[in-house]
Structure 1
Amino acid sequence: MALSRRKLIGSVPPASARTDRIGSPMLRPGPPRSLRRRRPARTVASATAVALAVGVLAGAPASSAADPAGRSGQRPVVTRAALDPALVAGRGARVDFLEQEAENAYTDGEVIGPDRTAYTLPSEASGRRAVRLTPGQHVEFVLPAAANAITVRYSIPDAPEGGGITAPLDVAVNRKRVRTMTLTSQYAWLYNQYPFTNDPQADLLHPDWWITECSCVPAATTPFPSIAKPFRPSHFYDEQRLPLGRTYRAGDRIRLTVPAGSNAAWTVIDLLDSELVGPPRVRLAAANVLAFGADPTGRRDAAPAIERAIAFARRTGLPVYLPPGTYQVNRHILVDDVTIEGAGNWYTVIKGREVALPTPAPDGSVHTGVGFYGRAAADGGSRNVHLSGFAIEGDVRERIDTDQVNGIGGALSDSTIDGLYLRHTKVGMWFDGPMRNVRITNNIIVDQIADALNFHTGVTDSLVAHNFVRNTGDDGLAMWSESTANARNTFANNTVQSPVLANGIALYGGADNTVSGNLIADPVREGSAIQLGSRFGAEPFTGYVRIRDNTTVRAGTYELNWKIGLGAIWLYALDRSIDARIEVVGDAYLDNTYNAIMLVSEWAVKDLHSISDVHFRDIRVDGAGTSVVSARTAGSASFQNVDARHVGAVGVNNCGSFHFTPAGSEFSLTDLGGNDGGWLAPWQLPNTITCDDRPPVVPPPPPARW
């Protein structure tokens, strides 16, 4: 198999710079462009240090959520990405569940947040708020519609030495206990610098890298400044599904209670998704894996039986059927010219352990794990593969970039992937092209160590639509044209929530690609809702890029190394100029932490690269902590019918490439008319310098109907 992700995200860009005062650059040494990955070591940690960190992470709690209508009159509040659904109608994925935020429910616990500061529990919560319970406390939701299953997104503390704990959570309906869930933090809590460690007491993984907390390169600093441990904790949340055993009616009450004897000092509940799951799908005319010896209890390895069923199905032209059950698979299942169907992703679960290899594989992997893989592109790839209606649950707890421990991998042409539920793998779906015509629809991808999905190298004519993504450790959805351009692909009507690091949707080079109708919420640090990046050795952008009818909310994060706020959409020229035609039409950027739109080149290459031929039309900006447009590059862009309100600082923060010439900025704006809200004033055109390197942030009010 081809190597896994080789690009470096977020906290490890090449040498960067900032200006404390206009025109006064301060160069910052960064890490080298290529780095060896190493497996993190574990040491025994101090319980006191972790307990202290947990106290800081929880933040200062707000008052408990109340039931203003009285217990008998409490009404459910249904949201999408913690917003009124009317604000995002027609955008994002079609899903079968209804989302309810814990902060809107009745609780005797404490609401934490809002907070958009990285490394805190509220910042990684949906909507940047959650409910913190101590033993004996509860949060209660009113079902908005009939449901027989729920999903709970939560966080509990790590073990003092790392590695996670388990703790109970009682689930009651109408005050009658239904079941006790066993929560775990074994798949959460990462620390330190990229690619992170599970050890809360680890020293710096890269002592020669810039550390923003001390404004230093530790290896070059005497005396070495102390770094508080755990250092940069993140990836706090996990989620768990629970069938309720029967159907409950709208108005019934789901109460989540932390038992009095819980070993978790606190339990944070972020949200509850409720769903009416239909009956299992039955396929009679199929190669049923039970007939080939598969164990549906999960006690015995089912991989050989599944492979026998696949071989039989290919000979006979039948699909493979996986009836309800849990099937243990601890390695890759190779798929080519086959259809594999489950009974539905609530019923059929393919579950496996991460297994250490006796010697590293040729691709550099040191582990294997559960996954369905096409043949490598170098071996001709696979085609006519159709996967649907099952879950893949892995056992990945640390990030090792060379490991192939993804849910779906390899090269799959003329194929479909529909209705899967992927959790606890490194990347949900990682495709190494060249390959073409894959359709990826209606999947749920959550709790990943890295990306949810990545088109890596030469993926063409493919569609990713109506997928729901939450809690990735890297980009939610990405196209990375590392050696061959990805071309003519579309990411349409997906929902991406709470990527802990990097971007909701990212395109790194490529030709004639489209991002449309997506809903992207709550990126946490060092990324944006949407990024177009000339970086990571990607092929150039050519032809066009179409960004259409997307909605972002609470985006525009803090870039750790630069110490500046980014934009909800971020164009970044690092390796080369961006000069393809970029059309951004119909987007809505809501409640932006910093900027709505940002165009930037790296300080070291600011006189070499530029961003041009960019066109914004029919855009709505409802709230920006700093500016509508921040330009930190040479180049140009046009604006037509861009309406903005609740802008914290100047509408256009135009720094150009920081030469501040008498002729004005090196970045020019063209007003094509209809730009309302006073953000684009005639005196700013075409290239008036309005540079404030770090303008003060004015938090905007919550977004509302326009």
Structure 2
Amino acid sequence: MSRSITGAAANRSGSPRRRAAMVVASLTATAAGFSMLAGGTAFAGAGGHGATGASAAQPAVTRAALDPALVAGKGASVGFAEQEAEHAKTTGTVIGPGRDAYTLPAEASGRSAVTLQPGQYVEFTLPSTTNAITVRYSIPDAATGGGITSPLNVTVNGGDKKSIALTSQYAWLYNLYPFSNDPNADILHPDYWVTECGCVPQDTTPTPVFAKPYRPNHFYDEQRLLLGRTYKAGDKIRLTAPAGAAPTTIDLLDSQQVAPPKVDLLAANVLLFGADPTGRRDSADAIDQAIAFARRSHLKVYIPPGTYQVNRHIIVDNVTIEGAGNWYTIIKGHQVTLSTPAADGSVHTGVGFYGKDASAGGSSNVHLSGFAIQGDVRERIDTDQVNGIGGSLSNSTIDGLYIQHTKVGMWFDGPMTNLKITDNQIADQVADGINFHTGVTHSTIANNFIRNTGDDAIALWSEKTEDASDTIDHNTVQTPVLANGVAVYGGTDNTVSANLIADPIREGSAIQVGSRFGSEAFTGSLDITDNTTVRAGTYELNWNIGLGAIWFYALEKNIDANIQVTGDSFLDSTYNAIMLVSDFPVKDLYSITNVHFKDIKVDGTGTSVLSARVAGGATFQNVVARNVGAVGINNCGSFNFTPAGSEFAVTDLGGNTGGGTTGPWLAPWELPNTITCDDRPAVVVPPAPTQW
């Protein structure tokens, strides 16, 4: 097994830190290149898969591209209905299903979408009253990078025509981390281990030639549209690529009934301080003045409907800022190049609301709600502070925001405490969605919807100081392009509960528990309860193996806190459902123990239920599995293959039933530490998940 260091955490500037993936060891000969599981299990609904021509589809509402009944009670409660393009009436071409990284199907919700050529359409039947839609789409990049624009026509019942100007300026990254916007760039890091050839290019004779563009990714973006009136259930919304349009891939349509704008007359209205709701003039100074007045007068700040240009950070402390609703109040800015780098290393600034730095005491009693933040970040520069929300915010709330096109949606550097993040939408980031970094305590991330992040969607990163007593609850994460849906790097007494995590793309999975990135040790307890993962378990490019839907990674320390994984469901896992792993150079130094799996449902694995690639052990009770593609336990331990068996012990506490193609997933002969090591087992595509 070829092992190297990879992953996603984050540095102080608000983006994940990645390490060069170097050649370290190999136990088995690896073939050049790799293959990934193709297949998908999207819910077809009444309309079937890719209804075309006159066979108009009935509304097929999904959640994570599944029948909502399969994920009931999990994830965020949102105000919109999700409909997959591949279930709608179309004259276009259904692409996918497929899970190969660097392809359009892989990054689509449900791993399938519809591509329209000029003149073709996809038509959705509205499931409920609607006055607003969100379209998730992909159009090509420019030949030299930087994106293009292309029109998309929107009609309802054959009339009420509107047009959306689609753009790929915020999509299309290439190459090795931290990526390039240039499709013609040579390999960025010639000293990195490169999976496709199993080599370090600069040390390889002859130097390998890589097809360009190399590793294209981050294909999709989304746009919102207020329709101007309310349409009823059963009305038809048709999206058409007009003559002259670029090939347009439609992933899904979200439809909803947006409430009227909120009005607050008893507040400091930013218009009174000179803010420009047309977006032509910069409104940052006017918002600052409204904040100062509101603090003196003990009032809230109100930002009425409009688009407000803001090209720098708005510093917030002891203030409440309310918009009219995130469809109506839009804070939008350009990315600005600094004349000299800032003290924190930033070379750009841009729109964002920031608490004071923790070293200056941080901010407190900040309440932000009811507006959108739309940035202008088109590349990933890890030193840049170009996040939607940042700094240190204690005793504060963030509610009902829509954040798009910033680097990280929300990045917090502690120590800080008692922050509640609820009911927000975060889309189309080049790095994380939400990251609690360094000593964030007694805080909550709940009922948020996060789609298309460029790194961990939600992360707790206990660098230097532990994150403690935090809760990540009832969030929905879809299509993180890189890394994990939810990642916990060290900490104590934290909870990850009732989240719905679907379609991670590469070098990560749905849930990770990792001792890495300089994080403090896990102490106390970690509860991972009642979560559901869907089509998770990506192919780890540097190791050439598939990851578990949930994976534990002991890279820098032992993982030995009390970890309870209870009531979770792992649906349609691309490889194994559960993985516990270390890195080969430290395989005899670190172990994973005291992990307990109870009341788990596993419905469909490409390979095993459990893959153990580390010393230690775990207990299993009432873990029920079906449609398992390989031997239930793939137990390699620390790869020493001792006569006494694997260094990883499996403890059966009873009630572990079900299995798949090779029989019971947990058979008596596998206990406690039988070596059943298959470094790269064959993948068997499981059937679609069904009700248990």
Could you say whether these structures have the same fold, taking a TM-score greater than 0.5 normalized by the shorter chain as the test? yes
* Matching residue within 590, 613, 616 for 1:632: 613
1:18 CA drift (Å): 3.8
1:126 corresponds to which letter in structure 2? S
Secondary structure, aligned partner of 2:650: strand
Compared CA separation, residues 626 and 151, structure 1 to 2 (3 A) = same
Q: Is the 8 A contact 1:170 1:177 kept in 2?
A: no
1:215 CA drift (Å): 1.1
Match for residue 645 of structure 1? 626
The CA distance in 2 between the partners of 1:5 and 1:389, in whole Å, is 24
Higher alpha-carbon deviation: 520-529 or 176-185: 176-185
1:13 CA drift (Å): 4.4
Match for residue 4 of structure 1? 13
Secondary structure, aligned partner of 1:567: coil
Secondary structure, aligned partner of 1:87: helix
The CA distance in 2 between the partners of 1:594 and 1:193, in whole Å, is 24
Q: Is the 8 A contact 2:221 2:428 kept in 1?
A: yes
Q: What does residue range 567-646 of structure 1 map to in structure 2 within 5 Å?
A: 567-646=548-627
TM-score normalised over the length of structure 1:
0.92
Q: Is the 8 A contact 1:7 1:536 kept in 2?
A: no
Match for residue 103 of structure 1? 86
The CA distance in 1 between the partners of 2:525 and 2:120, in whole Å, is 54
Compared CA separation, residues 173 and 83, structure 1 to 2 (3 A) = same
1:661 CA drift (Å): 0.6
1:339 corresponds to which letter in structure 2? T
The CA distance in 2 between the partners of 1:223 and 1:662, in whole Å, is 42
Matched, 1:526 2:534: no
Match for residue 148 of structure 2? 165
The CA distance in 1 between the partners of 2:121 and 2:194, in whole Å, is 40
1:97 CA drift (Å): 0.2
Secondary structure, aligned partner of 1:95: coil
Match for residue 696 of structure 1? 682
Q: What does residue range 210-221 of structure 1 map to in structure 2 within 5 Å?
A: 210-221=193-204
Match for residue 473 of structure 2? 492
Compared CA separation, residues 69 and 190, structure 1 to 2 (3 A) = closer
Q: Is the 8 A contact 2:15 2:432 kept in 1?
A: no
Q: What does residue range 436-585 of structure 1 map to in structure 2 within 5 Å?
A: 436-585=417-566
Q: What does residue range 180-579 of structure 1 map to in structure 2 within 5 Å?
A: 180-262=163-245, 264=246, 266-579=247-560
The CA distance in 1 between the partners of 2:504 and 2:120, in whole Å, is 30
1:543 corresponds to which letter in structure 2? G
1:70 CA drift (Å): 5.0
1:187 corresponds to which letter in structure 2? Y
Q: Is the 8 A contact 2:22 2:191 kept in 1?
A: no
* Matching residue within 27, 44, 58 for 1:75: 58
Q: What does residue range 45-60 of structure 1 map to in structure 2 within 5 Å?
A: none
The CA distance in 1 between the partners of 2:205 and 2:303, in whole Å, is 61
Match for residue 669 of structure 2? 683
Secondary structure, aligned partner of 1:123: coil
Compared CA separation, residues 197 and 276, structure 1 to 2 (3 A) = same
The CA distance in 2 between the partners of 1:379 and 1:365, in whole Å, is 18
Compared CA separation, residues 168 and 531, structure 1 to 2 (3 A) = same
Q: Is the 8 A contact 1:17 1:562 kept in 2?
A: no
Matched, 1:705 2:691: yes
Q: Is the 8 A contact 1:65 1:108 kept in 2?
A: no
2:685 corresponds to which letter in structure 1? P
Q: Is the 8 A contact 2:16 2:382 kept in 1?
A: no
For these two proteins, the number of residue pairs brought into alignment is 662
Matched, 1:114 2:97: yes
Higher alpha-carbon deviation: 459-468 or 211-220: 211-220
* Matching residue within 85, 91, 98 for 2:68: 85
1:583 corresponds to which letter in structure 2? Q
Q: What does residue range 128-147 of structure 1 map to in structure 2 within 5 Å?
A: 128-147=111-130
The CA distance in 2 between the partners of 1:673 and 1:171, in whole Å, is 56
Q: Is the 8 A contact 2:15 2:431 kept in 1?
A: no
The CA distance in 2 between the partners of 1:646 and 1:434, in whole Å, is 45
1:260 CA drift (Å): 1.4
1:499 CA drift (Å): 0.2
1:195 corresponds to which letter in structure 2? P
The CA distance in 2 between the partners of 1:19 and 1:202, in whole Å, is 33
Q: Is the 8 A contact 1:521 1:555 kept in 2?
A: yes
The CA distance in 2 between the partners of 1:271 and 1:558, in whole Å, is 25
Match for residue 650 of structure 2? 669
Secondary structure, aligned partner of 1:122: coil
Note the alpha carbon deviations across 1:664-696, whole angstroms, 9 max, x for none.
000000000000102000110000000000000
The CA distance in 2 between the partners of 1:286 and 1:98, in whole Å, is 33
Q: Is the 8 A contact 2:53 2:89 kept in 1?
A: no
The CA distance in 1 between the partners of 2:332 and 2:288, in whole Å, is 15
Compared CA separation, residues 659 and 363, structure 1 to 2 (3 A) = same
Secondary structure, aligned partner of 2:99: coil
2:275 corresponds to which letter in structure 1? A
The CA distance in 2 between the partners of 1:421 and 1:387, in whole Å, is 11
Compared CA separation, residues 189 and 689, structure 1 to 2 (3 A) = same
1:145 CA drift (Å): 0.3
The CA distance in 2 between the partners of 1:591 and 1:543, in whole Å, is 32
Q: Tell me the percent identity.
A: 71
TM-score normalised over the length of structure 2:
0.94
Structure 1 gaps, min length 5: 29-63
1:68 CA drift (Å): 7.8
1:419 CA drift (Å): 0.1
Q: Is the 8 A contact 1:65 1:110 kept in 2?
A: no
Q: Is the 8 A contact 1:510 1:539 kept in 2?
A: yes
The CA distance in 1 between the partners of 2:49 and 2:645, in whole Å, is 52
Match for residue 45 of structure 1? none
Q: Is the 8 A contact 1:464 1:492 kept in 2?
A: yes
1:178 CA drift (Å): 2.2
Secondary structure, aligned partner of 1:19: coil
* Matching residue within 20, 23, 27 for 1:19: 27
The CA distance in 1 between the partners of 2:506 and 2:17, in whole Å, is 14
Match for residue 8 of structure 2? none
1:6 CA drift (Å): 6.3
The CA distance in 2 between the partners of 1:82 and 1:427, in whole Å, is 25
The CA distance in 1 between the partners of 2:253 and 2:83, in whole Å, is 5
Q: Is the 8 A contact 1:395 1:425 kept in 2?
A: yes
The CA distance in 2 between the partners of 1:16 and 1:457, in whole Å, is 30
1:696 corresponds to which letter in structure 2? A
Compared CA separation, residues 94 and 114, structure 1 to 2 (3 A) = same
The CA distance in 1 between the partners of 2:15 and 2:321, in whole Å, is 31
Secondary structure, aligned partner of 2:28: strand
Structure 2 gaps, min length 5: 1-10, 33-47, 659-663
The CA distance in 2 between the partners of 1:333 and 1:109, in whole Å, is 45
Compared CA separation, residues 242 and 16, structure 1 to 2 (3 A) = farther
Match for residue 31 of structure 1? none
Q: Is the 8 A contact 2:14 2:385 kept in 1?
A: no
The CA distance in 1 between the partners of 2:393 and 2:350, in whole Å, is 19
1:511 CA drift (Å): 0.6
The CA distance in 2 between the partners of 1:228 and 1:393, in whole Å, is 34
The CA distance in 2 between the partners of 1:7 and 1:414, in whole Å, is 26
Match for residue 150 of structure 1? 133
The CA distance in 2 between the partners of 1:27 and 1:130, in whole Å, is 31
1:134 CA drift (Å): 0.5
The CA distance in 1 between the partners of 2:341 and 2:432, in whole Å, is 23
Q: Is the 8 A contact 2:57 2:87 kept in 1?
A: no
